[in-house]
Amino acid sequence: MIPELKRELEHQHYKVVGDHSAVKLCFWLRKSMRDSGVCYKQKFYGIESHRCMQMTPWIICNQSCLYCWRVIEKTKVKVQKIDNTEEIIEGCIHGQRQLISGFKGFSGVNLKKWKEAQNPNNAAISLIGEPTLYPKLSQLIEEFHKRGFSTFLVTNGQFPEALGKITEPTNLYISLDAPDKDSYKRIDIPSLHDFWERLNKSLELMPSFSCRKVIRLTLVKGRNMHSPEKYAKLIEKSGADFVEAKGYVHVGESQKRLPRDTMPTHEEVKAFAESISKHSGYRYRDEQKESRVVLLAK
């Protein structure tokens, strides 16, 4: 990894692993260790927030999504060497332990949870970049599973050829950021000319997976919160088990690209999720107001 990018990521509290991987503490992991809240993934799917490891095997992304809080403009780099899966996993676990080491002395920290957090058991493969670009993704998922981890893989669906070959994770997420081609181009700024066809191919592949399948909607007010009937059609095509309608949060690098008033309220997110429900076979299942997220299920 080039020194400038490494410094930038470390300044933002990432632990860089090898040439193209990284780990970073989730906001909810820190909250959970203080017994002051848990991630919606714990509420919806039973994943313990304090034992979840937010990581990426590939910092580079092929898109420049307006809502992304990450330093995407600075990660358009060329990888010189492909790291192996064991090095990535060991490096991420070690990095996470370093990141939580100081919490032991903080007031209000649950020491039982802090000790358990030393040995994470869920890998959220979603931190930064596009994981399906990592050539050894299947081996990575398999190695995590051998170590007793569950795996949540989040992809933008731009590489159906890779998606069709991977070992199944515990949760497969496909991000669906717009209901039509023009809106998608404006909000995700894809680099591939056939981006819409690629996304639809990935949605068509989703029913072939036997793992838990989730469509992730990141809703940006005034940009992609329209045409719920079109979203519904795409979601039905995917055969997903769940839909997470989540409001955009005006944080990080996204503040340079979007105004604050594009951040919807939880009530607006819930209303839009209900509009999708009316046009589909998906119904309200749960919600978490703190994360501005609503869960729909078949």
pLDDT confidence of residue 169: 98
Residue 256 confidence (pLDDT): 93
Q: What is the pLDDT of residue 273?
A: 98
Domain range 3-297, its CATH number among 3.20.20.70, 3.40.50.300, 3.30.70.270, 3.40.50.2000:
3.20.20.70
How does the average pLDDT of the chain come out, rounded?
A: 95
Compute the radius of gyration of the chain from its Cα atoms. 18
Q: Can you give the residue ranges of every domain in the chain?
A: 3-297
Distances, alpha carbon 74 to alpha carbons 7, 80, 129, in Å: 11, 16, 11
pLDDT tens per residue across span 199-226: 999 999 999 999 999 999 999 999 999 9
Q: Which residue has the higher pLDDT, 75 or 20?
A: 20
pTM: 0.94
What is the rounded average pLDDT of the residues 167-184?
A: 98
For residues 224 and 187, is the Cβ–Cβ distance under 8 A? yes
Bridge partners of residue 283, in order along the sequence = 297
- Beta strands (DSSP E) in 8-57 are 15-17, 21-23, 52-56
* Rounded-to-integer distance, Cα 188 and Cα 136, Å: 25
Q: In this predicted model, what pLDDT tens digit does every residue of 229-269 receive, in sequence order?
A: 999 999 999 999 999 999 999 998 899 999 999 999 999 99
Please give the Cα distance from 206 to 191 (Å, whole number).
23
Q: Residue 5's pLDDT is what?
A: 82
